[in-house]
Amino acid sequence: MTLPAHPLDLTGWIERIRGRDMPVFGRTVESLRTLLSDDRVSASTLAQVILKDAPMTAKVLRLANSAFFNTSRQTVSTVSRAIVVLGFNPVAQIALSVSLIDALLSGGVRGRAEAEMARSFHAAVQARWAAAKRGEGHGEEVFIAALLTRVGEMAFWCFGGDQARSLDGLLAQGRMREEDAQQVVLGFPLRHLSAGLVREWHLGALAQAVLEGQSRGRNGEQAVLLGHRLARASEQGWDAPPARQAVQALADYLELPFAAVLDAARANAAEAARIANSFGAPAPPAGAAASAGSGPAQADPAAPPVGVADPHLQLHILHDVAAMTLAQAPLDDILQMVLEGLYRGVGCERVLVARLSADRSELQGRAAIGSGAEALAASFVFSMDGEPDDLLDAAIDSAQGCWLTPSRAAQPGAERLLKVAGSRHAYLAPFGTGSRQVGVFYADGHGRALDEAGWHAFQHFVLQASLAVGLSLQGQ
């Protein structure tokens, strides 16, 4: 990427990375930060944000099934279930980490960028372990703070172009301290870029405090600082003096024997290699993670390509829907899991749930997944006039679903639905109790023809939604 004729200052670099090199990450951060700051946001809203991005969904589910994040070892097949098992904030933090790494990898990671990324993962795992040993909560917050502490360095080496090559050459000579070389080439140390990006993206008070030297001995910040010190020192080998000194500092902090902390630190380095691999990122160097045994990331069996049915996944999700129903989970969260089952399990490319208004005069789109899902949900608004031939009115009145085909679409009554959804191949079915339907599920292949197996699976998921509605009404 071509740099401007005149070198950028710190403000210019922040603006460039935020606006030109990593804009998608900035938008994801804004979406997740809004959710994390609002106690009223439901799990279904977070699930929808993650499900918009199929690669993110696959990685979040892979990580949610890892022993590192999922200490209960409960199998997780859906984003909705991940939120139940791991918690709202941990899943949001995992999604944020995935988004960061994907954005950085898009810059053509190599050389020093790989080293920074691997070191950051190593530091994050060590810091999370240290915080847990101190008996503190918010382990995922410590993990992501350690991962973000060198976000400026990672971004610069990914997108720095000519200036990155100049700095690389100066560092390769080995005549200057790292920060002094940065000052010569850039006019500022890269830690200032990290601090600026953390502030700009509002990436958390913990990371900001560490970067701005405001730790004041607080435990979470000390865990992050010690994690980074240990990660860097271990690259020379665990028996080298810098690593032994870093281990001793961590042992003093935790008030544990040196030998016990050294054994744990080695195991954490191996864990960091596996976690980095799950993110698709480089693993810590061999000296730090000699026992990691990391190889290529395994494809997530719970994440088939969009538009491909997976009967095995359908069964897993139906089981989870039934469990949530019996546990009387919020109805919106159950409906979200049904949507996810239709999208990822049945293989529909656009799925939507709509609810009747309180006075039953209007059908309103509530949530959708797939290509153009937000626009579909916003436009899926229909008055319920009781027209007997209308597809939507008939579904609500008769409590019967409809498999829309081109021949059926050519008949009277489908015009309103076709105008909004635009597909002549779709499934539509109401859900609710026997005497009172409360909404409809809609699914299509975005123009692709649908099949009978998909229709039966669609109906099965809608039936589960109806059972959930029935239990929900009984509890009122």
Structure tokens at 356: 């009747």
Cβ neighbours for 101, distance < 8 A, ≥ 6 positions apart: 117, 279, 280, 281
Is residue 137 a contact partner of residue 301, using CB atoms and an 8 Å limit? no
Q: Report the CATH number at residue 274.
A: 1.10.3210.10
- Classify 364 as helix, strand or coil: strand
Considering the domain architecture, whether residues 139 and 208 belong to the same structural domain is answered as yes
Q: Is 298 a domain residue? A: no
Q: What strands lie across the sheet with 381-383, from one edge to the other?
A: 381-383, 362-370, 350-356, 437-444, 426-432, 402-404
pLDDT for res 149: 92
Structure tokens at 270: 């191996």
DSSP of 197-228, one letter per residue? HHHHHT--HHHHHHHTT--TT-HHHHHHHHHH
Distances, alpha carbon 286 to alpha carbons 121, 228, 234, 273, in Å: 14, 17, 10, 10
Give the Cα separation of 438 and 299 in Å (integer). 38
59: closest CA among 46, 70, 50? 50
Q: Look up residue 149 and give its amino acid.
A: T
pLDDT for res 26: 87
Considering the domain architecture, whether residues 222 and 337 belong to the same structural domain is answered as no
The single-letter DSSP state of residue 388 is T
Domain that holds residue 327: 311-474
Q: Look up residue 58 and give its amino acid.
A: A
Sort 366 into a burial class: Cβ within 10 Å, 0-12 / 13-18 / 19+: middle
Considering the domain architecture, whether residues 327 and 393 belong to the same structural domain is answered as yes
Is residue 34 a contact partner of residue 201, using CB atoms and an 8 Å limit? no
Considering the domain architecture, whether residues 349 and 234 belong to the same structural domain is answered as no
Structure tokens at 403: 């498999």
- The total number of structural domains in the chain stands at 2
441: closest CA among 415, 413, 419, 469? 469
Is residue 279 a contact partner of residue 294, using CB atoms and an 8 Å limit? no
Considering the domain architecture, whether residues 248 and 353 belong to the same structural domain is answered as no
Place of tokens 């996810």: 340
pLDDT for res 406: 94
Structure tokens at 432: 């609710």
Q: Is 302 a domain residue? A: no
pLDDT for res 43: 80
Answer with the one of 257, 279, 301 that is the final residue of a domain. Answer: 279
Other beta carbons less than 10 A from residue 373's beta carbon: 21
Q: Look up residue 250 and give its amino acid.
A: L
Structure tokens at 138: 């918010």
pLDDT for res 476: 59
Considering the domain architecture, whether residues 136 and 260 belong to the same structural domain is answered as yes
Q: Is 25 a domain residue? A: yes
369: closest CA among 285, 296, 309, 307? 307
Q: Look up residue 140 and give its amino acid.
A: E
Give the Cα separation of 91 and 79 in Å (integer). 8
Considering the domain architecture, whether residues 56 and 151 belong to the same structural domain is answered as yes
Sort 227 into a burial class: Cβ within 10 Å, 0-12 / 13-18 / 19+: buried
Considering the domain architecture, whether residues 163 and 16 belong to the same structural domain is answered as yes
Q: Is 366 a domain residue? A: yes
Q: Is 3 a domain residue? A: no
Q: Is 286 a domain residue? A: no
From first to last of its 476 residues, the chain has per-residue pLDDT tens of 344 445 789 999 999 998 888 888 888 888 888 888 777 777 888 888 898 888 889 999 999 999 889 888 888 899 989 998 999 989 998 999 999 888 888 876 568 888 899 999 999 999 999 999 988 767 888 999 999 999 999 999 988 888 888 999 999 998 899 999 999 999 999 999 999 999 999 888 889 889 987 655 566 899 999 999 999 999 999 999 999 999 999 999 999 999 999 999 999 999 999 898 888 887 766 556 544 444 434 444 444 556 688 999 999 999 999 999 998 888 988 999 999 999 999 999 999 999 999 999 999 999 999 888 889 999 999 999 878 889 999 999 999 999 999 999 988 899 999 999 999 999 999 999 988 899 999 999 988 899 999 999 999 999 999 999 998 877 65
Give the Cα separation of 456 and 197 in Å (integer). 49
Considering the domain architecture, whether residues 325 and 263 belong to the same structural domain is answered as no
Is residue 82 a contact partner of residue 60, using CB atoms and an 8 Å limit? yes
pLDDT for res 242: 95
Considering the domain architecture, whether residues 275 and 410 belong to the same structural domain is answered as no
Place of tokens 């008070």: 205
Q: Is 318 a domain residue? A: yes
Considering the domain architecture, whether residues 326 and 196 belong to the same structural domain is answered as no
Q: Is 304 a domain residue? A: no
Considering the domain architecture, whether residues 153 and 201 belong to the same structural domain is answered as yes
pLDDT for res 60: 93
Q: Report the CATH number at residue 381.
A: 3.30.450.40
